[in-house]
Amino acid sequence: MTVPARTRLSFQYDGKLLRLETTVHSVRPFADLEAANQALFKQASADEDHVVVTRETVFHPQGGGQPSDEGTLAMAAGHDVAARVPIFRVRAVRMDAVHDGQVLHLGHYIGGGDAGGGDAPLAVAMAPGDVVEQAVDADKRLLYSRLHTAGHVLGSAVRSLLEAEVPGFDELKASHFPDSAACEFRGSIEGRWKAPIQARVDEYLSRAMPVEIDFWTDDDFRREGLERLIPDRGLLPPGEDRFRVVRIVGAEVYPCGGTHVDTTDQCGPTTVRKISRAKGISRVSYAVAANGDVGGGQPTS
């Protein structure tokens, strides 16, 4: 099999783009994947699932603390076999562990057209060179974007309050999953800080602070006095010299490849749930309201 080029991460340049026509590079049964790639998908079915690689993608792969998008792939309108090829339901998306920069879309066929429903025979499945339309589940994308931005708001709030108060303070990692959203910090954050952190989070949300996406060189970080944030250059794609960053205007800047909403108020009500401490690390958990309880809000990038 010819190894395709890196998948272009279209969602990083236009987070409102939830549908995209692109070309299929490869389609493989899950059972044919390398062991390292099979290990990425814990709930995969060797009998039903396939993995599709496309030239571009609007699907955010799981990573950076953010869950993967879900949605569908379908033959683009006007394609000569569009009526015969079933829809491909994308259940999970990961970065390829073997081929650098490729994105793996895991899912299964759900019938359509002459296939008569159910699983489709491979004779009418999509194939390399086919033009397909990707469609992301918009509700899940919006929820994940709100959670991710809220995590940065929380990190900014904690830093603004505690950077000079907690010995050895630093921001570490975060999870933006709906059932386990939390930010971790170096240093011991006492429980008495929960109310002040909530108040600062509420302030940042109410100010509707713009959330801006940019691409920075090392010199850009230095110009802003943020040398501490310069990522490992090994994370850059070949030939690139700029890192993607998200800036909450009036607060913090984060190197980040995730999806976000346009302004902080679009995160919706965000609750600081708990502060826990272990081995010099503090974990501040949080939750956001369901999409239906939040007005407006569309992902930005």
Distance of CA 250 to the CA centre of its chain: 24
pLDDT digits (tens, 9 = 90+) for 256-301: 999 999 999 999 999 999 999 999 999 999 999 988 676 555 555 5
Please tell me the least confidently modeled range out of 25-39, 118-132, 146-160, 199-213: 118-132
Distance of CA 47 to the CA centre of its chain: 28
Query: Which has the closest alpha carbon to 162: 201, 197, 195?
Result: 197
Q: Which amino acid is at 59?
A: F
- By CB atoms closer than 10 A (0-12, 13-18, 19+), residue 123 is exposed
For residue 75, what are its two tokens? Answer: 């033959």
pLDDT for residue 114: 39
Query: Which has the closest alpha carbon to 287: 270, 265, 264, 263?
Result: 270
pLDDT digits (tens, 9 = 90+) for 164-217: 999 999 999 999 999 999 999 999 999 999 999 999 999 999 999 999 999 999
> How far apart are the C-alpha atoms of 209 and 261, rounded to whole Å?
11
Q: Supply the pTM of this predicted model.
A: 0.89
Three-state SS at 199: helix
